[in-house]
Amino acid sequence: MPYFETTAGRVFAVVQGEGPPVVLLHGFPLTHRMWREQMVPLSANHQLIVPDFPGFGQTPLVKDSLSIDDYAIVTSALLDVIAPQQPVHVVGLSMGGYIAMGMLRQAADRIRSLALLNTKREADTPEAAQKRLAMVDKLLVEGSRVAAEAMMPMVMAPDVNEDRPALFDFVRDLMISQAARGLAVAQRAMASRPDSTDLLARCSVPVLVVAGSEDKITPPQGMAEMARDIPGSHFVTIADSGHLSPLEKPVAVNEALISHFQRNP
Ligand code: MLT
């Protein structure tokens, strides 16, 4: 089984392909499996490293309290084992984007390039943080179904919910199968994450920003503003996609990522 012993604990990750390393960081409340449509195309020319964060999927939760920067430390520790001393293309969706920003804060010299998909640079407002903490209380009593019920109506474009039942069921089942404790720890971490606006404005690594045109969670306008403020960044909008573009519109997302890797070999 693909478990790796790191200085930050035991981490499950799928590793596939050969070439410059690429790490794919999943969103909430998902796992490495949200990248299933990227595995074959992106591993043709790269070593893909696709972990589950602590408390998600198959990676154990070692502590009951983690910050977003702690998840970044775990990711860097995994890279130290799998791709030591090598600069890495870091790709993060939503919560994975917050963790990618944590890696930028901690070890920018490890990052060959950054791709931020459907994410936010701002910290939570007090109201948003409060909403997360209310979800934590419910999660710990009622289980992971609470997160699935809150997110499924808005996580993908409306046509997916109506016309693509297999994809809808895949995402819902993935959410429901997560351990509520891991989700609660992640919600608390997201509620207290730092603002990364200045960090990104000062960023000297090449950045790709990808937005879903129909994303209700991280709307494309905010993504465009983020891209505008990152020196030299590329901005791509994925047409007819909600928040989970890598699953909803994999061909367009794969094209955007492959072009980004080619521009930044
Ligand atoms: C995600 O997709 O990772 C979440 O929407 C992130 C968040 O709750 O801020």
Q: Which of 190, 215, 241, 244 to mutate to test the pocket of ligand 1 (most atoms within 8 A of CB)?
A: 190
Q: How far apart are the C-alpha atoms of 207 and 211, rounded to whole Å?
A: 13
Q: How far apart are the C-alpha atoms of 162 and 51, rounded to whole Å?
A: 30
Q: Which atom of ligand 1 is nearest to the CA of 124?
A: 9
Task: Encode pLDDT of 8-43 as tens digits.
Answer: 999 999 999 999 999 999 999 999 999 999 999 999
**DSSP H or E segment with residue 96:** helix 95-107
- For domain 3-122+194-263, the CATH class is alpha beta
Collect all residues with Cβ–Cβ distance below 8 Å to 63 and sequence separation of at least 6: 54, 70, 185
Is the pLDDT reported for residue 105 higher than 70? yes
Could you tell me the two tokens for 9?
């604990």
Q: Which pLDDT band, with edges at 50, 70 and 90, does 1 fall under?
A: low
Task: Encode pLDDT of 57-103 as tens digits.
Answer: 999 998 999 999 999 999 999 999 999 999 999 999 999 999 999 99
**DSSP H or E segment with residue 91:** strand 88-93
Task: Encode pLDDT of 143-190 as tens digits.
Answer: 999 999 999 999 999 998 889 999 999 999 999 999 999 999 999 999
This model of the complex carries an ipTM of 0.97
Is the pLDDT reported for residue 117 higher than 70? yes
pLDDT averaged over every residue in the chain: 97
Q: Which atom of ligand 1 is nearest to the CA of 218?
A: 5
Q: Which atom of ligand 1 is nearest to the CA of 132?
A: 8
